[in-house]
Amino acid sequence: MTAASTGRRRPGYERPPAGVHPPLDYPEYRSTILRAPKQPLLPLPHGPTEVTGPLLGEGRVQPGDADLTTRHAGEPIGERIIVTGRVLDSGGRPVPDTLIEIWQANAAGRYRLDVDSHPAPLDPNFDGAGRCLTDAEGRYRFVTIKPGAYPWGNHHNAWRPSHIHFSVCGRAFAQRLVTAMFFPGDPLFGQDPVFGSVPAAARDRLICRLDLRRTEPDWALGYEWDIVLRGPRATAFEPDEERR
Amino acid sequence: MRLALTPSQTAGPFLAIALPWPDGPYVVPEGTPGAIAIEGTVRDGAGAPVPDALLETWQAAPDGTFPGDPGDPGGPRPSGFRGFGRCLTDAAGQFRVITLRPGVIPGPDGGIQAPHVDVSVFARGLLDRLVTRIYFCDEPAANEADPVLRSIAGPARRATLIAVELEGRPGEFGFDIRLQGERETVFFDV
């Protein structure tokens, strides 16, 4: 019944402290109103299913998938940028060989998807999707176009600040994270309820920084953004209930 | 060194640009001996189908092992079993995943956990993923002993986690997800 591999008691993952993730029930972001659960979330102890996770490298990433500017006949319009950083766990350890998938609007603020009705031009040379695997040091690197801001229907005159969506698989089900990266100093932050749903002290963690060391002279500005996933707890025996 | 965690953000309405894979719903290739299907509808608090959600599943193999686990022999499994599934809901809010039945795995304190599939739900309007579990209706004894199911007060709430066998369709299970409201699915803080 019990395979040797899962019979050992392995440590679970640290629980995020308060003040990191946005609340699910956040009516300023109107789409939460009918979608956020009303019942409290129940604690799920970390067993074998939660401390393992898929290894999705093989066959998932093709050469060139991390460069969103070279996948079509011509070059996309917009400000070419490099977005790079490391995926780390909360203990500072790199998370290697993990799949990162990104998606974003084009330079005009338009997504290449039927449901985007914003009357801004599509770019035939830009589809806005990329993927890569982190290296042994947890580093990733994308070349893309700086996404434009765009209007949406959340409230009167609502605009999303420029952002790139990031999906990070991590090494365990418990580490899975979907988030977004924003750009420094965006004047639209203050009126965006999605960015603003994050507790104030943690919002800066979603903002990349311009880094001249990552910039390629005469070619593209470089932005650095590290992603921190929760790490394994120090011991196998710390009861889950301890945090409650 | 302690590093501060990166906050979650919603996957938004445009996740279909990047996240669906052609083989995503196939945890094993279609036609694999012993394969089962799990399908259902995701609904919001008004009962409307959610046509822009992405479900991810993660589970043990029938023998209770996990691909990529430290004790796993590694490499592709003979069955092609990946353990992981990913499915976008369609215009009617429906998803369908082809997989193998998960095995029993160890629970805390020397007990067992009943066969289950962990599920993440991503969508516009979800500022963090929602996590739930699929159990199987034809495992009553194991379900009765399962510590997670036992931790849920009341049979009605527990029932939201139990996939039912679809009538006249052996090997096919139904599992609807209600994000909010009447018969709201149990979601977990993982």
Supply the ipTM of this predicted assembly: 0.96
Residue whose C-alpha is closest to residue B57's, from B20, B86, B90, B94: B86
pLDDT-derived band at A50 (thresholds 50, 70, 90) equals very high
A/B interface, count of CB pairs below 8 Å: 259
User: Who among B7, B60, B190 is closest to A179 (CB)?
Assistant: B7
A52/B12 touch (CB, cutoff 8 Å), yes or no:
no
**Average pLDDT score over residue span B115-135:** 98
Instruction: List pLDDT tens digits, range A112-133.
Output: 999 999 999 999 999 999 999 9
Which residue is listed with tokens 């004894």?
B141
- In this prediction, residue A56 carries a pLDDT of 80
Contacts of A59-63 spanning 24+ positions with Cβ under 8 A: A60/A99, A60/A131, A60/A133, A60/B21, A61/A99, A61/A131, A61/A132, A61/A133
Which residues of chain A are within 8 Å of residue B72 when distances are taken between CB atoms?
5
Residue B22 CA to residue B125 CA, distance in Å, equals 25
B9/A179 touch (CB, cutoff 8 Å), yes or no:
yes
Residue A55, chain B, CB below 8 Å: the answer is yes
Q: Per-residue pLDDT for A171 more than 50?
A: yes
Residue whose C-alpha is closest to residue A86's, from A129, A133, A54, A53: A133
- In this prediction, residue A243 carries a pLDDT of 39
Which residues of chain A are within 8 Å of residue B151 when distances are taken between CB atoms?
42-43
- A46 in catalytic set: no
Give the range among A69-83, B74-88, B120-134, B138-152 with minimum mean pLDDT: B74-88
User: How does B131-161 read in b/e, with b if 16+ C-beta sit within 10 Å?
Assistant: bbbbbbeebeebbebbebbeebeeeebbebb
B6/A197 touch (CB, cutoff 8 Å), yes or no:
no
- In this prediction, residue B70 carries a pLDDT of 65
Q: Which residue has the higher pLDDT, A100 or B107?
A: A100
Interface test with A, best of B1, B2, B9 (most A CBs within 10 A): B9
Residue A112, chain B, CB below 8 Å: the answer is yes
Residue A67 CA to residue A84 CA, distance in Å, equals 12
A22/B128 touch (CB, cutoff 8 Å), yes or no:
yes
- Separation in Å, CA of A172 to nearest CA in chain B: 10
Q: How many residues does chain B have?
A: 190
- A165 in catalytic set: yes
Residue A121 CA to residue A106 CA, distance in Å, equals 9
Please tell me the pTM assigned to this model: 0.95
Q: Are strands A129-133 and B36-43 parallel, antiparallel or unpaired?
A: unpaired
- A163 in catalytic set: yes
Residue B142 CA to residue B116 CA, distance in Å, equals 10
Contact assessment for residue B20 and residue B54, using Cβ atoms and an 8 Å cutoff: yes
Residue A19 CA to residue A203 CA, distance in Å, equals 10
A103: DSSP letter: E
pLDDT-derived band at A197 (thresholds 50, 70, 90) equals very high
- In this prediction, residue B34 carries a pLDDT of 94
Token pair recorded at residue A191: 């009126």
Contact assessment for residue B62 and residue B115, using Cβ atoms and an 8 Å cutoff: no
Contact assessment for residue A175 and residue A87, using Cβ atoms and an 8 Å cutoff: no
Residue whose C-alpha is closest to residue A223's, from A80, A92, A27: A80
Cβ under 8 Å to B: A residues 173-232: 173-174, 176-180, 194-195, 197-199, 202-203, 205-206, 226-230
A44/B14 touch (CB, cutoff 8 Å), yes or no:
no
- In this prediction, residue A238 carries a pLDDT of 45
- Separation in Å, CA of A104 to nearest CA in chain B: 8
Q: Per-residue pLDDT for B113 more than 70?
A: yes
Residue in A with minimal Cα distance to B190: A44
- In this prediction, residue B67 carries a pLDDT of 85
- A213 in catalytic set: no
Spot the catalytic one: A13, A46, A110, A111: A111
pLDDT-derived band at A42 (thresholds 50, 70, 90) equals very high
Residue whose C-alpha is closest to residue B132's, from B50, B62, B58, B27: B58
Q: Which residue has the higher pLDDT, A145 or B72?
A: A145
Q: Which H/E stretch holds residue B172? A: strand B172-174
pLDDT-derived band at A234 (thresholds 50, 70, 90) equals confident
User: Who among A49, A60, A195 is closest to B105 (CB)?
Assistant: A49
Spot the catalytic one: A86, A163, A171, A230: A163
